[in-house]
Amino acid sequence: MTSLTASERDAGRNLQGNGNAGDVWADRIFRGATLVAGLTVLAVLALIAYSTTKEAWPAFHHAGLSFVTSSRWDPAHNKFGALAFVYGTLVTSLIAIVIAVPVSVGIALFTTEVASPRLRRPIVYVIDLLAAIPSVVYGLWGVFVFAAWAQPKYQTVAGWVKHIPVLNTIFGGSATGRSFMTAGIILSFMVTPIITALTRETFATVAQDDKNAAIAMGATRWEMIRVTVLPRVRGGMVAAVMLGLGRAMGETIAVALVIGSSHQITTHLFSSGDSMAAVIANEFGEAQGDHRAALIGLGVLLFVITILVNMAARLVLRMTSRDNMGSRA
C-alpha cells in the first residue's frame, strides 16, 4: 500500500524520456481496455435491470400493486399475484438459515479454535465440496431420496403435535415429502459452505493476544470463545447470514424439484408450496404473452431483493472489517 500512485509512476517514466510515442499509446490503449473490462460489470448489471424490467413491463402495468399483494396466480385468466411465491421464497430461505447458521458457526469455530492445522485443511476442503455439488444434483437427490425418506418422519411429527397449540399450526396439517421443509433443508446444505467460509474469515481476524489473555485469566476454551471471539465477530456473522439468505432466495433448480409446486400460503411447513425462482423454472417453458411477462417480473423482483440483501451484507462486512482494523492499530 506504500507504493506510488499510478500517475506518480507514469510521471517518473515520462521524465526519463526514453519512451517513444508508440509506447505511450500502447500504455493508454492497454489501460483503456482494462477499464472497459471493468466497466462491463456495471454495464451488465444495468442491462439486467433494464432489459428484464422492459420485458416484464406489461405484467407490472397490468397487475399494478396487486403483483405483490395478491396471491391469485391464474395465467388462464390473466391474474398475476405473486404473494404466494414471495412467501414461499422467504419461508424456505428462513428454514435454510435457521438450520445452517448454528451448524456453520460450529464448523467455523471447530476449524479456527479446536482443530489442529493438520485436521483443518481436510475439513475446509470437504465443506467446500458441499458447495461444488451442482444445485440440480441436490434437487435430484432431494426429490427421489430425501423427500421419500422424510415423508413418514414428517407425518409422525405432525401426529405428535396435532393437539399442541402453535406447534400444530407450524408442523401440523397434511405432511408431504415435497414441501417447504424439504426445500429448506436442501437449501441449508447449499448455504452452509458460504456461511462457514465467511464466518471463518471473520473469526480469523480476532487477535491471538486477546485469546491468550482470556486463557491466562483461567477461562475455559468455551469461555474464551464467548468473551473474545463472539463479541468481535457479530458484524461479520450478520453479513455472512445475509449473504447466505441471498443465495438461498435465488436458488432455483433444487427448490423447483422438491417444493411440490402448489400455489398456496400456509403456515404448515410440511405442506407443498412454491417459490419465485421455482415458478419461473417450472412455468417459463409454456408461458406466452402476459404470463411470460409476469414470470420475468418475478425475476425482476428476485433481482431487486437479492441485490439489496447483497449490498447490505457487503456494506456491513466493509464497516466491520474497518472497525476491526482500527482496534488493532
Partner 1 sequence: MTATMTPPNAPTPAEPPEWMLRRSVSAGRRVRNGLATMWMLLSVLAAMVPLVFVFGYVVQKGAHVISRAWFTKDLPIVDQFPGGGMKAAIIGTLVITLWATLMAVPLGVGAAIYLNEYGRHGRLARIIRFMADVMTGVPSIVMGLFVFAIFTLKYGLIGFGGSLALGALMLPIVIRSSEEMLRLVPDDLRHASDALGARRWHTVLRVILPAALPGIVSGSMLAVARAAGETAPLLFTIGAARNTNTNVFRGPNTALPLQIFNNATRPFDAAIARAWGSALTLVVIVFVFTVIARIVSARFSVRR
> Based on CB atoms, which residue is closest to partner 1, 158 or 277?
277
272 and 261 Cβ atoms separated by less than 8 Å: yes
Binding characters for partner 1, 109-128, by CB under 8 A (x = yes): xx--xx-x-x----x-xxxx
Q: How far is the CB of 71 from partner 1 (least distance, A)?
A: 21
The amino acid sitting at 99 is: I
Closest distance of CB 61 from partner 1, Å: 16
d(CA 7, CA 11): 6
Smallest separation (angstroms) from partner 1 to the CB of 100: 9
Query: Taking CB under 8 A as the rule, does residue 323 contact partner 1?
Result: no
Taking the complex as a whole, the smallest distance from the CB of residue 161 to partner 1 amounts, in Å, to: 24
**Residues in 148-177 at the binding interface with partner 1, rule: CB under 8 A:** none
Cell 444434483 belongs to residue: 137
What are the helix (H) ranges across 217-275?
Answer: 221-224, 230-232, 234-250, 253-258
34 binding partner 1? (CB under 8 A): yes
Residues 6+ apart with CB under 8 A from 68: 81, 82, 83, 86, 301
- Indicate whether 65 belongs to the interface with partner 1 (CB under 8 A): no
- 39: contact with partner 1 by CB under 8 A: yes
Contacting range for partner 1; rule: CB under 8 A; set: 64-72, 159-167, 174-182, 292-300: 292-300
The footprint of partner 1 on residues 78-107 (CB under 8 A) is 102-107
Q: What is the nearest approach in angstroms of partner 1 to the Cβ of residue 170?
A: 22
**Cell 486463557 sits on residue:** 215
CB nearer partner 1, residue 166 or residue 308:
308
Which residues make Cβ contacts (< 8 Å) with residue 151, sequence separation at least 6?
175, 176, 177
Which of residues 74, 98, 144, 323 is near partner 1 by CB under 8 A? 144
Cα–Cα dist 210/216, whole Å: 10
Q: Is 310 in the site for partner 1 (CB under 8 A)?
A: yes
Indicate whether 187 belongs to the interface with partner 1 (CB under 8 A).
no
Residues linked to residue 79 through DSSP beta bridges, in sequence order: 74
**Backbone phi and psi for residue 80, each to the nearest 5 degrees, phi listed first:** -130, 90
User: Could you tell me if 249 and 134 are in contact, meaning their C-beta atoms sit under 8 angstroms apart?
Assistant: no
Looking at residues 225 to 284 of the shown chain, list those that interact with partner 1 (rule: CB under 8 A).
Answer: 225, 243, 246-247, 249-253, 256-257, 277, 280-281, 284
Give the total of residues touching partner 1 (CB under 8 A).
107
From first CA to last CA, the distance across the chain in angstroms is 15
